[in-house]
Structure 1
Amino acid sequence: MGDDTSMMFHQQLLAIDENLGTDEVEALKFLCSDLIPFRKLEAVESAKSIFQLLMDKDVLNKEDTFILAELLYRIKCHFLLQKLGYTKEIVEEKLPWKGKVSHYRQMLYELSEDITNDDLQRAMFLLRDQLPKKLTNMSSLELLTFLEKKDLLTENNLQMLEKICMEVSPDLLKAVNKYKMERVSLAQQESSTSVKEAASFPPCSAGGDVRLLTSLEETPIKSLGSSIYDSCSSGLGSLREHVENVHFIAARQDDRAVNIPRDTSELSQEQPERIHNPENKTEKLMTYKMDGPHRGHCLIINNFSFSGTFQKRRGSCKDAAVLAQVFTWLGLDVKTYTDKTSVEIEALMQQWRSLEDHRDRDCFVCCILSHGESGSIYGIDEQEVPIRRIMSYFTARKCPQLIEKPKLFFIQACQGKEIQQAVYIESDAQNPDSLPIQQLVSPSQSIPEEADFLLGMATVDGYASFRHIHEGTWYIQALCSKLQLLVPRGEDILSILTQVNEDVSKRADNLGRKKQMPQPAYTLRKKLIFPVPRSPPPSLQQ
């Protein structure tokens, strides 16, 4: 029986290993670096090697797999938790008292996810004298690991990290400042606990012991308070110098303190909710059906070369290609059309909405890459086609085959006044000075007043979107990147688009002056979660 259990345990580990790519392995190595020495992790190339190191430390074994569940939770591979018998909710419940990844390590990992490629290149330039001369590229996690190895970054010394963040992108300081404030809060909690415990000791005799209690109850509270607030202004690296006798509680204890209900009435209200809303039933009720014989059709219209004065949309073919790869990987049948006039675009909508084949499909996706302005896209004849009209072909009345099924539209086109372009950056707007800015149409006004539609716009209304002439558009490249990263983790489409917003919002031109903000609008009634493909994402197949 023991051999069977051991075999099953190792089968679980192998199944998880097969679902983790290079990026996930790098993330696991980083999160485990407080548990396993750097020198051992350096040689690791697979997840199963990390599992073996954890087993050697007896942190992971067949009786207790929680450390692995925590790691999968931290890197957002929630879909793999079921292989260990966990759910996301169960892990969150146990983290406060079973978690082993420190707040410091969590903060660094969270920070690494916020660092864009441009941020990383700037950081490497700032550190060019410290980095090895032959090193030309590294990931954000590798950069943080390098700083730790050189003792330029430690739990009690964040000055170098803060300096880099301030120079590269001040927004990155949010994660660092949050961590610092948590540590200050923990120090105060620990101090308060120590004082109460000391005060609870019964005096052995009158007199001297009373004076000792007075010293414990009064003096440290004053000095500790002032020391803590001084450390906030001078940097948390000096906190230990100011508060010599305070031991910081572990991250899991802090989480537990936050999650403890204020009174038993709160606890009694929470328990029935857990019992009556098990995860599997909730997911079935709240998620679109995506297990039919065919996933759906994906229509891509790529307008590259225009017949009049509009510029060619260089880089757009890269967008079309990666969209085709990603949606094929997601199980859709992809059809790409190039250079269509306004009349031809509407004819295509008429043709595809009449397709009887939709009855056997789970969803429909349409991607349009073109020039545009407020509420419209252009055909190559430089005539406008309203986005609302395009989507209206697929309403329940005009396309009953797709009734109650999600219909997704992704539009890469400017929606307003052009911004002066920088080197290698072009705008998808035309004749910006003539755009009727006072008559803007918001994305929410562009979708039909029916359920089950989603419209993903590259930019908010009234603004330009940007396209690299070699690498493609910021929006489409971010969309495809996040789909490949987050679909295997079980994320729903709106969560993915939120991360797309985050990604694009951090991008800027070479001078850091031109920005872009995507915007989704939707009438979805349920979560839309694409099933996890069996094959690795296209980015890992190349």
Structure 2
Amino acid sequence: MTFCRVPASLLYELEQELDTDEKETMLFLCRDFMPDLSVPDVLQLLMGLNEKGMLTTINISELLYRLKRFDLLKKFLGTGRAAVEANLAKYPQMLSKYRVLMAEISEDLDKEDLRSLSFLLKNYLGTSHKEKSFLAIITDLEKLDLVSPDHLDLTENCFLTIHRTDLAKKIQKHKLEALGPFPAMNTNPLQVSFPKLSLADPPKIANKERVMNGACAVQAEQIHIAIPETRSALAQGPNKYRMQSKPLGVCLIIDCIGNDAGLLADTFKVLHFEVHCRLFLNMDAMMHDLYEVSKLRAQKDADCFVCVLVSRGNHHSVFCTDHIVPGFQLERLKDFFTGERCPDLLGKPKLFFVQNYVEPQNWQENTSLTEADGDLCTIPQGADILWSHCMLDASALDRSPSASSYYLSNLADLLMDPHKRKLPLLDILVELNNRIYEWNRINPTEQYLLLLKHTLRKKLFLSGN
């Protein structure tokens, strides 16, 4: 089924207003969404995104904002720069920070800079790229796997060589924001499996006198966190997250299927969480609730945060009740609760449990492991995150519409067991993995695929300590 949210006539008029450079920039900004676009054509891009249900008015306004076409914002959408900036600050952005950065750098380069870059890169790209734009050069480097959001050393060194230190500093800032303040030390076997995860919540402003889970709060306007340089220095600090607040934290349950919300709510109430339960939400309502919960005053005094999401979807997204492809990208879920957007949760553990019923056309069977390949789902880099993501073929819901998720019911069972709660949460989840493995072994027609990733810095006990 095709879902068109924006009239084709509007997309045609919009495309006609853009010049050649703006069209190239739009194609670059959206390359992640349409990587197989056969012809570099903006109208084809817009129609493709529209058919996928990705062109909301908010997303179009973000694109026009990045092109600095504020006149078109007013003409086609009846909005202005300030309103778009407010939305960008409120909601996770559609466009990647990496692509926005490259587009901004492109605007700062003159012909002499491009000539110098072409010379420096001729060993990689040959001489055929001499007349290409910066964004075209970056695209060619991406195809050769020489440049990516996590691999920007080549471009940084080129800018330093041509004495554009201002642009090199922009790349350095981007890399620092991605890496965050915490060193990669004391890795455990689970972390070793996922080397791309890093601890990235930057230090933020605090204004009270409490100290919770490493988030220092002082009277001054700004704090500076020193990074321990040695393993011994790190070992001197506490090795457990503080879990003593009453309530322990906020637990947001979003169940778009409706079979497990009651059990989950009871479980986290027993664990002394303030439970907020939301049923059968569409995508817009879910984003609104995520934003509202991230701003709850209760987060300030809490020691932990939990989010449970149950929905149909695919490997990377959930559809909520809209059933619109490509849906809400799961990697954006965490963005609402990072230290940048939710300072009250800085340094505190943030736990995400996702049960995703994968629609048949999106399902790729892989029954050999309970811990799946990291390429199936990625989490934006962040500190103090635990991500447990379970996938099951949505045909299971067709066979038993009211059946509970085996993953969620066993998670609840383990967390409700007072003896199990004395164990670190990661140990509990290892037992959950084992139960899923045993289920898959004796139920070949209903296979659960389970991912576990985390950037926790300390041991986490839900029983309090």
Give TM class, smaller chain. Answer: 0.3 to 0.5
Normalising by structure 2, report the TM-score: 0.44
Specify which structure has the bigger relative contact order, considering alpha-carbon pairs within 8 angstroms and separated by 6 or more residues. 2
Using the size of structure 1 for normalisation, the TM-score is 0.38
| Largest Rg, 1 or 2 | 1
